[in-house]
Amino acid sequence: MTWAEIDWNVLDRLRGLFISGEAAKGAYWTSSADLANYDLTYGERIGWKWDAVLRELDQRGWRPPSAAAPARDGKFALLDWGCGSGIAGRRMIRWLGADHVAVLRLWDHSALAADFAEQSARKSFPGVAVEHLTPGFLAGDAPVGILVISHVLNELPAGELLALRGLASRAEAIVWVEPGTQEVSRALIELREQLRDRFRAVAPCTHQGACGLLAPDNARHWCHHFAPPQPGIFADSDWVKFGRRAGIDLRSLPYSFLAMERRRKAEPEDTAAGFARVIGEPRCYKGFAKVLSCEAGGVSERMLQKRDSPGLFKQFGRPEGALVCRWTLAGERIVGGELLSRLTPGGGI
Ligand SMILES: C[S@@+](CC[C@H](N)C(=O)[O-])C[C@H]1O[C@@H](n2cnc3c(N)ncnc32)[C@H](O)[C@@H]1O
């Protein structure tokens, strides 16, 4: 599918389903053309959020544990649940390297979606086995490998979410990306709490304790981040038209996410221990900035004066990746810091 072939009526119908909540009432894909139109637009935009998440996992130095590669030459097994057009599974394979993936399993309550995702994955990665998941697999206890979930929480009744949690508990690693809304982020936080006795948080958290956003003082906040807009998108008339018709602000790509891995006897070294993760975006003013800082001790607002660290102040205005920082504090104030991506000798700014 190319922009020349796009069917705007299909996209308008999908938009109606997504914003009205109708999408939660059952399978809504009516043809493979629906999925092709979605894949080029909504799906691609979700792909940019995945790119940001996977860059952060690189920044953290994380790779899925070898236990997530149970079969076939030590290669990874992936399960994309609620796959839609399959963008999340394909982004994960690209990130892991197709040579390192044995099998991509797909599940969606729409067979049209699973078929589309299967064909797209086969085309992009001919060396990877692609399978539809069977109800038998879902109901059984076979290992899941890496569970990939993207933009499904809004559409799940409580019973389905419970079943999905059961599936998650069979995974070795979970990478789950959702929209950056308060409601969905809060649901992800709840899932983290339910899973954290068996799974350690890889990202966005920098600690293994209870989520600091659960503190009553933080009830108005939620854990979300912003992916950078694609270069050139504002000058692209097709994307501009899509943004207008879909009512989407192309400058803003809010997302929430959770990456976890099963706890092991010998826990890996925590690369982010002692670091803070900035939630949302820094608010930069003339001469100072404020950030909502998630740390092992809790989530709190911190302030940086530009004169204390012009380099860090600049990073706040134009971050080059996820803001995972080890603060130098004077009392409650930030006076300097070290970014996780710059963990090289002399990397302090
Ligand atoms: C918004 S789409 C997201 C698709 C894809 N994961 C992505 O990120 O682009 C939600 C998908 O979840 C599927 N879905 C919703 N409820 C489901 C359920 N109970 N079981 C399986 N799939 C479901 C829908 O059919 C749809 O393909």
Tell how far the Cα of 133 is from the centroid of ligand 1, in angstroms. Answer: 14
pLDDT at 344 (0 to 100): 42
In a domain, 271, yes or no: no
In a domain, 17, yes or no: yes
Residues 291 and 258 in one domain: no
Whether the CB-CB separation of 279 and 80 falls below 8 Å is answered with no
Q: What residue owns the CA closest to ligand 1's atom 18?
A: 109
Residue position matching structure tokens 């108005």? 220
Task: Return mean pLDDT, the chain.
Answer: 93
What is the span of the domain harbouring residue 298?
276-342
Q: Is 227 in the pocket of ligand 1 (CB under 6 A)?
A: no
Whether pLDDT at 347 is above 60: no
> What distance lies between CA 259 and its chain's CA centroid?
8
For 26-32, what is the mean pLDDT? 93
Which residues are CB-contacts of 6 (< 8 A; sequence separation ≥ 6)? 37, 40, 41, 238
Nearest-atom number in ligand 1 for the CA of 149 is 6
From 237, 262, 287, the end of a domain falls on 262
For 328-341, what is the mean pLDDT? 93
Q: Give tens-digit pLDDT for 131-183.
A: 999 888 988 999 999 999 999 999 998 888 988 999 999 999 999 999 999 99
From 214, 240, 262, the end of a domain falls on 262
Q: Is 113 in the pocket of ligand 1 (CB under 6 A)?
A: yes
Helical axes 87-96 vs 111-124, angle rounded to 10°: 30
Percent of the chain with pLDDT over 90: 80
Residues 106 and 72 in one domain: yes
Tell how far the Cα of 149 is from the centroid of ligand 1, in angstroms. Answer: 9
Whether pLDDT at 25 is above 80: yes
Tell how far the Cα of 28 is from the centroid of ligand 1, in angstroms. Answer: 9
In a domain, 25, yes or no: yes
In a domain, 281, yes or no: yes
Tell how far the Cα of 270 is from the centroid of ligand 1, in angstroms. Answer: 33
Q: Give tens-digit pLDDT for 201-231.
A: 999 999 999 999 999 999 999 999 999 988 8
Give the integer Cα–Cα distance in Å for 41 and 312: 35
Residues 195 and 300 in one domain: no
In a domain, 270, yes or no: no
From 262, 291, 309, the end of a domain falls on 262
Whether pLDDT at 342 is above 60: no
Tell how far the Cα of 347 is from the centroid of ligand 1, in angstroms. Answer: 42
Residues 197 and 326 in one domain: no
Whether pLDDT at 349 is above 60: no
In a domain, 301, yes or no: yes
Nearest-atom number in ligand 1 for the CA of 83 is 6
> Any idea what the CATH number is for the domain that residue 318 is in?
2.40.50
Whether the CB-CB separation of 17 and 23 falls below 8 Å is answered with yes
For 226-239, what is the mean pLDDT? 92
pLDDT at 67 (0 to 100): 77
For 68-90, what is the mean pLDDT? 89
Q: Is 88 in the pocket of ligand 1 (CB under 6 A)?
A: yes
Model-level pTM greater than 0.85?
A: yes
